[in-house]
A = this chain, B = another copy of it.
């Protein structure tokens, strides 16, 4: 386990003067989408850029929510814990995703880097002033929150009502869809998370995830070149499985 202060040790907050947004690779799909150059410039005055190593903690549930984040490079998982250690991963995040949304108070979940991560970091205190001046930013945040809410509802349907096979099919399609949106390949997809993370995302055990994947491999709907990649060989069939048909 990484020490709790690993984040701050490795923080490399880039001065706003260097305009990190200018070289941003994910501007088209990220938080900043739809904002004018001027508005982005305003945002750039308060943004910092943070580097976090793989397995590093970005923030912890219950902690004062001092920052909001927009992921630039890497993969992040969000999760909640029960007192006895049972874990539910509520989301996997990829470049362009926003997280840590809170108007006041504390984070409702923990965030951890799956891979080395680079993320934009907006201090909530400084953002507050901006929201008054640039209402479009607030509207953008509202839109992001609504999208997250829709994803959360889908996940509730998955967790409460889908079988293991349906869950795994839904998961593979979700990863594929999100890769496509970022301009990556739809079919050989990368799975930067381990079986344990997949299990905690789907409300299953590692063993059931592994067995279900090998079953799908036997059925020819997917191939597994290695445990970190999956080839979706029959996407229509996967979609049929995912929806319970």
Residues of chain A touching chain B, judged by Cβ–Cβ distance below 8 Å, are 80, 82-84, 86-88, 90, 101-103, 108-109, 131-132, 135, 138-139, 141-143, 145-146, 148-150, 152-157, 159-162, 200, 202-203, 243-245
Contact yes or no, A139 B145, CB < 8 A: no
Other A-B contacts than A82-B162, A149-B149, A155-B156, 19 sampled, CB-CB below 8 A, are A80-B153, A82-B243, A86-B162, A88-B157, A88-B160, A90-B156, A90-B157, A108-B149, A108-B150, A109-B153, A131-B135, A135-B138, A138-B138, A145-B145, A145-B146, A148-B149, A156-B156, A160-B202, A160-B203
Task: Kindly report how many copies of this chain are found in the complex they form together.
Answer: 2
Q: List 22 A-B contacts (CB under 8 A).
A: A80-B154, A82-B161, A83-B245, A88-B160, A101-B149, A102-B146, A103-B142, A103-B143, A131-B135, A132-B135, A138-B138, A142-B142, A145-B145, A149-B149, A152-B152, A152-B156, A155-B156, A156-B156, A159-B160, A159-B203, A160-B200, A160-B203
In the complex, what residues of B have CB within 8 A of residue A146's CB? 101-103, 145
Contact yes or no, A153 B203, CB < 8 A: no
